[in-house]
Amino acid sequence: MGGASPPNDRVPSNRRDVMRVILAQPRGFCAGVVRAIDIVEKAIEKFGAPVYVRHEIVHNRHVVENLKAKGAVFVEEVDEIPDGATTVFSAHGVAQSVVEHARERGLPVLDATCPLVSKVHAQARRYVSKGRTLILIGHAGHPEVEGTMGQVDAPVHLVSTTEDVAALDLAADEPISYVTQTTLSVDDTRDVIDALRARFTNIVGPDISDICYATQHRQTAVRDLCKVADMLLVVGSTKSSNSNRLCEIGREEGLPSYLIADSDDLDPKWLEGVKAVGLTAGASAPEELIIEVIEALRRLGPVELQHLDGVEENIEFRVPAILRSRAKEAAA
């Protein structure tokens, strides 16, 4: 996956008026997603297929299908993995009970949990070890939230709104701590954190710099994009929390905004009267899908491609040491 660049030529303008397609910067894959995909691909290369992955490695059908074609098998429970099979935990992270279950079965595990998610896990364990009640700001049912809640042997209070904070049955002077789901930005969590700090007198939480850089960067880029576009297209899965949020931001900014899995979801009716389309992608959507959408737009009429200025991300997370040599080995 990756490596391709959007075409930058213009089609002849002897048809209808040229429509501008403006690309957000940054967009698409973040470093945690790149690392997770690399882990699966390198595991298949080193140990041979099949490699079993607990849960979708990232929330994108195209990524999952591509890895399936290479020899990955996706399951939801460790019990579905055969004895001795190479096992990968997804980028979202898993509960300690899942880690222990895999260890009890003697499964060789490669952990593709995003390092920024692992950092949240460590923060949660540290806060609880100091006797603080833990509050998690996140969305119920998201696999990352389930993994974080499963890091500690203590109750975890999940909140996603200021109303949830008001409903907490906790004393105002109780020692409180909070952590956040990484696919929520500083902007997403600000009101909830303010409500927590207003309600509790003894509360600690992570530094703002610990918030996932990729989430914040992509949301800021979309807000900038909405200032120069008439419509927003977000390439990503409906199961992707960050992709859904990018689309919500477009609507908050007053633009017709659509979340599409790929170019097949593009409806020509959306483009009627549109002079400038803003185009971005969620953190688990490959650049190939962006290119396909651009080509689909070109088939509907002349396009001028523009690139919005934005943050250049140069962050790279290393894969586990065992995968850094390329020689294929038989799985132990």
Predicted local confidence at residue 208, as pLDDT: 78
Which residue of the set 41, 144, 287, 292 is catalytic?
A: 144
Q: Which residues pair with 88 in a beta bridge?
A: 53, 110
Q: Does 244 carry a binding-site annotation?
A: no
Query: Same CATH topology for 31-113 and 116-210?
Result: no
Predicted local confidence at residue 332, as pLDDT: 43
Q: Is the pLDDT of residue 103 over 70?
A: yes
Q: Is the pLDDT of residue 9 over 80?
A: no
Domain ranges of the chain: 19-29+213-307, 31-113, 116-210
Residue partners of 214: CB distance under 8 A and separation at least 6? 26, 30, 31, 32, 242, 283, 313
pLDDT digits (tens, 9 = 90+) for 18-60: 999 999 999 999 999 999 999 999 999 999 999 999 999 999 9
Active site residue 100: no
Three-class DSSP category at 64: helix
Per cent of the chain over pLDDT 70 is 93
Q: Does 30 carry a binding-site annotation?
A: yes
Tell me the mean pLDDT in the region 59-85.
98
Fold classification of 31-113 (topology level): Rossmann fold (3.40.50)
Residue that the structure tokens 């992270």 belong to: 93
Q: Does 202 carry a binding-site annotation?
A: no
Predicted local confidence at residue 132, as pLDDT: 99
Q: What's the gap between Cα 295 and its chain centre?
A: 25
Q: Does 314 carry a binding-site annotation?
A: no
Average pLDDT, rounded, for the chain:
93
Three-class DSSP category at 209: helix
* Buried b / exposed e along 150-168 (16+ C-beta atoms within 10 A): bbbeeebbbbbebebbeeb
**From CA 148, how far away is CA 122, in angstroms rounded?**
9
**From CA 219, how far away is CA 222, in angstroms rounded?**
5
Tell me the mean pLDDT in the region 197-205.
98
Predicted local confidence at residue 5, as pLDDT: 55
Q: Are 15 and 298 in contact (CB under 8 A)?
A: no
Predicted local confidence at residue 326, as pLDDT: 60
Fold classification of 19-29+213-307 (topology level): Cobalt-precorrin-4 Transmethylase; domain 1 (3.40.1010)
Q: Which two tokens stand for residue 70?
A: 């290479």
Q: Are 256 and 1 in contact (CB under 8 A)?
A: no
Amino acid at 105: R
Q: How confident is the model at residue 14 (pLDDT cuts 50, 70, 90)?
A: very low
Predicted local confidence at residue 21, as pLDDT: 99
Q: Does 142 carry a binding-site annotation?
A: yes
Q: Are 136 and 181 in contact (CB under 8 A)?
A: yes
Q: Does 5 carry a binding-site annotation?
A: no
Q: Does 240 carry a binding-site annotation?
A: yes
Q: What's the gap between Cα 113 and its chain centre?
A: 11
Q: Is the pLDDT of residue 16 over 90?
A: no
Predicted local confidence at residue 12, as pLDDT: 38
Tell me the mean pLDDT in the region 195-219.
92
Q: Which CATH code fits 116-210?
A: 3.40.1010.20
Q: Is the pLDDT of residue 327 over 50?
A: no
CB atoms within 10 A of CB 300: 12
Q: Does 241 carry a binding-site annotation?
A: yes
Q: Does 212 carry a binding-site annotation?
A: yes
